[in-house]
């Protein structure tokens, strides 16, 4: 499918969504006239806001025709999500093949195994408050190895268990939260542990910093690719071999609304394949930038809207813009750049195997200070851990009170 055909497909699908209660009050003519929706609209009157006349959630679940999941709650409170059984795997398979290298590995291994290290929010698969057996954490071709919400508190015994399970499982790829993955990579590096079966690494679940990427590439020696999406929308963008985040045209129609002068705006998506819970013009809560090229369109994901910082002149600075300053700053595994209500900033970081030297820190904080147009220098300090949100995800940038 080409992008030019996408809007025509959306217009064709619209009449099928008119009987969804959430959309019945919206205009029936013209896609662009439909109002934006967010998580609040998904939560209100759920599941009756999506179920058609005659549908009953208990009956659908009993028949095993749908799956009920929940978002992590990083942007707002947790939100229930419905999709058809098997839908998640199908839409993921489509987006992964936007990367030729990944597609080649999957062709060579039709039942490719993965090992997953993610924040273990309770979702029926694995829960950080309920330590389950490896058998219970194995779902089809996926082994969930992580059971700790805060990776920096992992014991050597727990890390050894995780490494041993991955070696025994022999996965073709690792599916990582970048913070959990980078911390685990340091353990493997110290112990000289390698995973010969692993051909590539997927990073998803939250923003992937250049600091995380450097460590994952150094330790595991395989390509690292970003996979972007959300529980409610499915997978949306996949990084290809050129580093471009390409949209899955079969899965989603993307818009950038309210762009600023740089073209950075709110990412709004319309899902094209989830019949039980279609999302029409859904504001996902992230900032992105659309880049049109002669051969295709790709997107730069700038991070969560709530994580923006502010320059002295009031202009926003996104997580991506701040993170670019860390590209040449070796010695940092993970960080948080926090801005006070007065606009001043403090940088806390967790050191890599070798911590950054004084010159590196001076150069880094000077770059950040210039980016934010601050009067005063940015103080920096190493820390042993940075706490996650209740969802288990982390914030690289944040403003006080946000």
The DSSP secondary structure of 179-220, one letter per residue, reads: HHHHHHHHHHHHHT---TT--EEEE-SS---HHHHHHHHHHH
Q: Tell whether 20 is covered by a domain.
A: no
Both tokens of 114, joined, read 């993965």
Q: pLDDT tens digits, residue range 235-277?
A: 999 999 999 999 999 999 999 999 999 999 999 999 999 999 9
Both tokens of 286, joined, read 């992230």
pLDDT band at 127 (very low <50, low <70, confident <90, very high): very low
- In this structure, the number of other CB atoms found within 10 A of the CB of residue 348 comes to 16
* Residue 80 parent element (H or E): strand 80-84
Q: Tell whether 375 is covered by a domain.
A: yes
Q: Tell whether 60 is covered by a domain.
A: no
Return mean pLDDT, the chain.
Answer: 92
My answer on whether 227 and 333 are in the same domain is: no
**Distance between CA atoms of residues 123 and 107, nearest Å:** 30
Q: Tell whether 19 is covered by a domain.
A: no
Q: Tell whether 346 is covered by a domain.
A: yes
My answer on whether 229 and 110 are in the same domain is: yes
Q: pLDDT tens digits, residue range 136-184?
A: 889 999 999 987 889 999 999 999 999 999 999 999 999 999 999 999 9
Please, are residues 84 and 60 in contact by the beta-carbon 8 Å criterion? Answer: no
My answer on whether 218 and 315 are in the same domain is: no
Left if phi > 0, otherwise alpha if psi is -120 to 50, otherwise beta: which for 392? left
Which residues make beta-bridge pairs with 268? 255, 283
Choose among 392, 399, 17, 401: nearest CA to 177. 392
Find the domain containing 368 and state its range. 308-399
CATH of the domain at 388: 3.30.300.30
pLDDT band at 126 (very low <50, low <70, confident <90, very high): very low
- In this structure, the number of other CB atoms found within 10 A of the CB of residue 225 comes to 24
**Distance between CA atoms of residues 204 and 197, nearest Å:** 20
Residue 27 confidence (pLDDT): 65
Query: Which residue in this structure is represented by tokens 């394949």?
Result: 273
CATH of the domain at 205: 3.40.50.12780
- CA separation, residue 340 to residues 119, 303, 346, 371, 400 (Å): 27, 19, 8, 16, 5
Please, are residues 379 and 349 in contact by the beta-carbon 8 Å criterion? Answer: no
Q: Tell whether 37 is covered by a domain.
A: no
Domain boundary among 245, 273, 294: 245
Q: Tell whether 79 is covered by a domain.
A: no
- CA separation, residue 99 to residues 103, 248, 348 (Å): 6, 11, 35
**What's the length of the chain?**
402
Q: pLDDT tens digits, residue range 10-60?
A: 888 888 888 899 998 776 667 877 899 999 999 999 999 999 989 999 999
Q: pLDDT tens digits, residue range 58-69?
A: 999 999 999 999
The DSSP-derived string for 159-180 is HHHHHHHHHHH--SEEEE-HHH
- In this structure, the number of other CB atoms found within 10 A of the CB of residue 392 comes to 24
Which residues make beta-bridge pairs with 176? 117, 203
User: Taking 70 as the threshold, does the pLDDT of residue 76 lie above it?
Assistant: no
Rounded to two decimals, what is the model's pTM? 0.93
**Distance between CA atoms of residues 208 and 237, nearest Å:** 14
pLDDT band at 91 (very low <50, low <70, confident <90, very high): very high
The DSSP-derived string for 378-395 is PEEEE-S--PPPTTS---
User: Taking 60 as the threshold, does the pLDDT of residue 122 lie above it?
Assistant: no
Query: Which residue in this structure is represented by tokens 């590439």?
Result: 217
User: Taking 90 as the threshold, does the pLDDT of residue 334 lie above it?
Assistant: yes
Domain boundary among 245, 273, 293: 245
Q: Which residue has the higher pLDDT, 202 or 128?
A: 202
Please, are residues 251 and 273 in contact by the beta-carbon 8 Å criterion? Answer: yes
My answer on whether 233 and 316 are in the same domain is: no
The DSSP-derived string for 243-309 is S-EEE-TTTEEEEEES--TTSEEEEEEEESS-SSS--SSEEEEEEEEEEE-SS-EEEEEEEEGGG-E
Domain boundary among 245, 266, 298: 245
What's the total number of domains in the chain?
2
């Amino acid at each position: 499918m080409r992008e030019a055909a996408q809007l025509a497909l959306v217009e064709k699908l619209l009449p099928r969504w008119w009987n969804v209660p959430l959309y019945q009050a919206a205009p029936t003519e013209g896609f662009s006239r439909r109002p934006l929706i967010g998580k609040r609209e998904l939560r209100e009157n759920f599941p009756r806001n999506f179920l058609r006349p005659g549908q009953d959630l208990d009956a659908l679940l009993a028949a095993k025709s749908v799956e009920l999941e929940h978002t992590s709650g990083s942007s707002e409170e947790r939100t229930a999500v419905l999709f058809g059984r098997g839908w998640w795997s199908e839409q993921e398979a489509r987006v992964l093949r936007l990367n030729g290298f990944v597609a080649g590995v999957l062709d060579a291994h039709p039942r490719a195994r993965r090992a997953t290290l993610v924040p273990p929010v309770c979702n029926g698969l694995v829960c950080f408050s309920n330590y389950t057996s490896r058998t219970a954490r194995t779902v089809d071709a996926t082994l969930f190895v992580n059971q700790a919400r805060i990776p920096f508190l992992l014991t050597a015994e727990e890390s050894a268990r995780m490494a041993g399970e991955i070696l025994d499982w022999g996965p073709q790829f690792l599916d990582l939260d970048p913070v959990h993955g980078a911390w685990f990579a340091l353990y493997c590096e110290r112990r000289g542990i390698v995973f010969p079966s692993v051909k590539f690494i997927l990073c998803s679940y939250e923003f992937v910093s250049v600091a995380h990427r450097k460590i994952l590439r150094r330790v595991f020696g395989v390509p690292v690719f970003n996979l972007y999406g959300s529980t409610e929308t499915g997978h949306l963008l996949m990084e290809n071999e050129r580093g471009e985040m390409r949209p899955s045209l079969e899965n989603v129609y993307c818009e950038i609304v309210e762009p600023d002068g740089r073209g950075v705006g709110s990412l709004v998506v319309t899902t094209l394949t989830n019949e039980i819970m279609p999302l029409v013009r859904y504001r996902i809560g992230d900032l992105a930038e659309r880049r049109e090229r002669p051969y295709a369109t790709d997107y730069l994901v700038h991070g969560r809207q709530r994580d923006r910082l502010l320059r002295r002149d009031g202009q926003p600075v996104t997580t991506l813009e701040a993170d670019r300053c860390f590209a040449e700053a070796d010695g940092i595994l993970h960080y948080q750049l926090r801005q006070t209500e007065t606009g001043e900033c403090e940088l806390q970081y967790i050191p890599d195997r070798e911590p950054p030297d004084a010159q590196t820190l001076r150069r880094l904080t000077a770059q950040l200070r210039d980016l934010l147009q601050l009067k005063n220098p940015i103080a920096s300090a190493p820390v042993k851990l940075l706490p996650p949100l209740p969802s288990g995800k982390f914030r690289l940038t944040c403003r006080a009170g946000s």
